Structures are given as C-alpha cells and as structure tokens.
C-alpha cells in the first residue's frame, strides 16, 4: 500500500517535477470514498475503482489552475488541499460522522495473508503500469517537462496537458492506495489527513530517490522496516512515537548527506 503511494507520488513529483505535497489528500479521499461506498453495500472492487476515479477527479480539479503556474505554488495549493479535506471530513458529519470516524469497513479478504498477497499483486500492477508509462514516449515527454518546460514547449509539446495527465494518473493511484488502506484497517477517521503519514511517504521518496521506480519500492520497504523496529525493541510505549520520528529524520539526513539524489535517484530536485 505504501509502495503504491510512493510510486504514484514519484510519478508526478520525480518524473514530471510536480511537487505535490497534497498527495495525502487524494489517498484520504480514496479511503473515504471506498469506505462510504462499501458501508452502503457496494462491492469492494467497484468501491476501489470509484476511489481511484474520485481521487483522480480531485487531481484534475487541482491540475487545471495549477498547471499554468510553477511547481512551488502547486506544492502550497496541494498542501492546502490536505487541510481542506481534513476540515470537510470533520464537518460534513452527516456523511462522514466527523471526528467519530467510520468503523466496520468490510475487509476484502477473510485472512490477512490473503490481503497481503492481494496488496502485493496490486502494488505489482501499479509498478508495472508506472514502469510502462515512464519508458513510453509519453513518459519521456513528462520527464522533459520536469527538466525544462520551456524547451519542451518549443519542441511542440503541450506541457500543460502532460502536467494534468501526470497528476490525474498519480492521484488515481493514490485513491486506490487509500481504498486499500481503508479496507485493511477497517476504521478511518480524519487523522488519516495528519502530516505524520505525509512525512513517512516523503521520507520513503527521498530515501529511495526521485524518478526511480525501484527507489520508490526500496524506500518504502526500508522506511517501513525502520518504523516497525522501535516497536519491537523498545518496551516503553510512550517512547515509540518520538523515537520513530527521530529515526526517520536521521535516515533522511544520512541519505541526503551521502547520496543527495536518494539511493536510486536519477534527478536533483
């Protein structure tokens, strides 16, 4: 699930150079869409698809005005979107039950092993699709937009269209990842919009390196492994959180110092 999230974020950020700090908003939207639909009797596979589509729709809305302006603004606008989503979900209580959250989201599979296998297959599909896209002609144009948008324009490329496309695809994947998350923990509330998760995902991306799909996968695995480590070796529960955050910070710092582009990264930000 994290792998999907990181690979999808890497698509827009690493390959097209769009700094989308609001990625979390889309995965939250996906989680809520899927949860609400399945709680109302819609089969999970439809709900998951819908989660992707609704997230991509929001991605499209975000892309329209921001594709004309530069990357830094997109970062700010998209981060704003996280807070907007958070407050919508908190306050639209008739739909989302606000801070109470949505309990009892149906599981997709009966056993957690099956779920793991399913997530793994889904991540593989996303990885494969991203791989195909990145090595395609369209993927190359997205990378050109990242390196130098003006140069891409004078080579006759509609750069705005490519920026929109990249955001829509990446938010679709984020929506799917959100749906997967909802069906895994079976309970969601507005805290899924908290910056904690964003920090985890960004550290995965930085550790793995921008514009590298393998990096995205390894980054996700390394950071996840590290985040579980304190839970195993530290006995005092109150210390787990802070120590975990410190481990992330340390890890990101070490990687940035020794490998500024990340372990597998291909570009500078």
To which residue do tokens 């390959």 refer? 15
- The verdict on 151 binding other proteins (CB under 8 A) reads yes
Among 75, 263, 267, 269, binds other proteins (CB under 8 A): 267
- 259: contact with other proteins by CB under 8 A: no
Residue 150 near other proteins by CB under 8 A: yes
Q: Give the range of 47-55, 75-83, 134-142, 215-223 binding other proteins by CB under 8 A.
A: 134-142
55 vs 211: CA distance, rounded Å: 22
Q: Which is nearer to other proteins, 226 or 267 (CB)?
A: 267
Residue 102: phi and psi, rounded to 5, are: -115, 105
Q: What is the C-alpha separation between 20 and 7, in angstroms, rounded?
A: 13
Contact set for other proteins, span 157-176 (CB under 8 A) = 157-159
Nearer to other proteins, 66 or 159 (CB): 159
Q: What is the DSSP letter of 97?
A: -
Are 51 and 34 in contact by the 8 Å Cβ rule? The answer is yes
User: Which of 19, 126 has the CB closer to other proteins?
Assistant: 19
Considering the rule CB under 8 A, would residue 107 count as an interface residue with other proteins?
no
Secondary element (H or E) of residue 220:
helix 213-233
Provide the Cα torsion 8, 34, 195, 121; round to 10°: -40
Interface size with other proteins, residues (CB under 8 A): 21
Rule CB under 8 A: choose which of 68, 132, 138, 140 binds other proteins.
140
Work out whether 152 is an interface residue with other proteins (CB under 8 A). Answer: yes
- Interface with other proteins, residue 153, by CB under 8 A: yes
3 state DSSP class of 236: coil
Which x/- pattern, by CB under 8 A, does the window 199-218 give for other proteins? Answer: ------------x-------
Can you read off the two tokens belonging to residue 95? 């739909």
Triad 52, 105, 167: Cα angle to 5°: 15
CB count within 10 Å of CB 223 equals: 26
Candidates 29, 141, 182, 217; binder of other proteins (CB under 8 A) is 141
Judged by CB under 8 A, does residue 11 bind other proteins? no
Q: How far is the CB of 245 from other proteins (least distance, A)?
A: 32
Give least dist CB 129 to other proteins, A: 21
Six-digit token string for 56: 């991509």
Instruction: Name 172's bridge partners.
Output: none
Say if residues 198 and 253 touch (Cβ distance below 8 Å): no
For other proteins, the binding residues (CB under 8 A) are 137, 140-141, 143-144, 146-148, 150-159, 211, 266-267
């Amino acid at each position: 699930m994290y792998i999907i999230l990181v690979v999808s974020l890497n698509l827009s950020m690493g390959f097209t150079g769009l700094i989308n700090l609001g990625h979390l908003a889309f995965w939250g939207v996906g989680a809520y869409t899927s949860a609400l639909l399945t709680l109302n009797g819609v089969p999970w596979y439809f709900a998951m698809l819908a989660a992707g589509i609704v997230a991509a729709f929001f991605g499209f809305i975000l892309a329209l005005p921001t594709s004309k302006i530069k990357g830094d603004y997109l970062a700010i606008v998209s981060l704003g979107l996280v807070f907007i989503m958070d407050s919508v979900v908190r306050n639209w209580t008739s739909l989302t039950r606000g801070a109470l959250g949505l309990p009892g989201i149906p599981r997709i599979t009966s056993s957690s092993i099956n779920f793991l296998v399913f997530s793994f297959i889904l991540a593989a599909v996303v990885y494969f699709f991203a791989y195909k896209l990145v090595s395609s002609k369209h993927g190359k144009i997205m990378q050109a937009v990242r390196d130098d948008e003006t140069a891409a324009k004078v080579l006759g490329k509609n750069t705005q269209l490519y920026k929109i496309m990249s955001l829509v695809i990446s938010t679709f994947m984020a929506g799917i990842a959100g749906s997967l998350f909802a069906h895994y923990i079976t309970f969601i509330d507005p805290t899924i919009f908290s910056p904690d998760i964003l920090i985890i995902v960004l550290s995965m991306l930085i550790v793995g390196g921008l514009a590298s799909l393998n990096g995205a996968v390894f980054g996700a695995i390394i950071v996840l492994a590290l985040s579980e480590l304190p839970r195993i070796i530290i006995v005092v529960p109150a210390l787990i959180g802070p120590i975990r955050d410190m481990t992330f910070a340390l890890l990101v710092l070490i990687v940035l110092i020794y490998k500024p582009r990340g372990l597998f990264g291909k570009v500078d930000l």
